Structure 1
């Protein structure tokens, strides 16, 4: 079995549901409040574990009750947590999410995630280099992401970088990652307004994968064909974590040896299943559920 590492954020999502998202200065009555395990890193690790992969999470939590709960949750989902550290006097990362009208707004407080630095990476370096693939996002410091990309590149370990939340990615990092998976907004921030989606994809065949929400996901195959896998039509319950599910599922299938097309069809199906249920991790499908959809 392939070993996949995720280095990234471990958050608690404080999710409030309401009939709609409030306007500036407005007070609304909420319907419900949930404390849900989250963080892009942890979400992607759970997505992969649910799909049957051997996954280890690397990152930091605060020395609070939520930190303990988040690690317990990861373990319960089948994610290895031997190298997750605790930062004294720091809170566990928190995302405050408002869900209404099939959409959401999110404010993230980094907490311990902001302390995932080069020193931490140096301490877990051997464990990371023993992996078959490393998955990264932008909810830990960007200089740490660059440090890991350089380290993995030197040692020939494939890297998936999901550049979210949106931030600039230096050209050198774009060259060194194996796969880059921005959405359209993130792609514009990285590459500028000038080029069309198709031009960008052609420039980075089988590396750049652009997710386009309800229009599906696109990449350029090695032979120059632009592949777009359309989104499956599903009833939207909660879109939180759909991108994390897609990234996790894609990493699992590529690590297992699937070609790009097969891996993206699988990832797309997994993401579509995730938006049919509430909560980022709660909605993530098992391998059996994805296979069932693909066999229809």
Structure 2
């Protein structure tokens, strides 16, 4: 059992929890995720690690209710327990393995959209802890939906909030802010974009034109989180990858976003899952209990 130490509402429909999970906190790195279950019969819910405290043994998760299980999660409070809290899962961000002195020479841009600010934060925080200032763009529809602003401002070298309605910060999409920064003379060695797939797609279209290598964190539907079920199947550079074990981070200029978004919609229905199994053949995988697979 994993105790919830803090539960709060960050913004409309966005929630944060600190969970006591010492083993996960000891081993996790920026870029990884966990899978939680509320009770024995509960759905497995994948959530990116927003922050961690190794000494306190805690993991911070941020989520947005989109279905019955995550809606039920919003009712949980400090003192309640998760039945399962599995992790860390996925591969850590590649930059943590880079030579630190070489990394310090790079100009890095982080771009987050909506709840994507949560997985951006631990990476920006890691950079700050290692003496690296980075630029951070975070976008949302309105000012009220921006999250973790104080933390982001403290960790980023330069923090640029954007709102679609122009109520705060840069008026417009994150892509127009990227263009503005480049036009002002900023030369980025790498961009790391995390958010809705449609946002990451258009960021990648722009950065490819600007010749800025870009890493994205893919968040397709996941079921088991260990590579068995095939729910998070992606096409990257013409090859089949699985976000839970090969990612979640990939070269954004190689990701087939149109395929990923179409597949995500189809996977939500039984008929769609059957069609995906037929279309994808041996690369589909099975064993998730949703597609009738036996592998």
- Short-chain TM bin: 0.3 to 0.5
Higher relative contact order (CA 8 A, sep 6+): 1
TM-score with structure 2 setting the length: 0.37
TM-score with structure 1 setting the length: 0.36
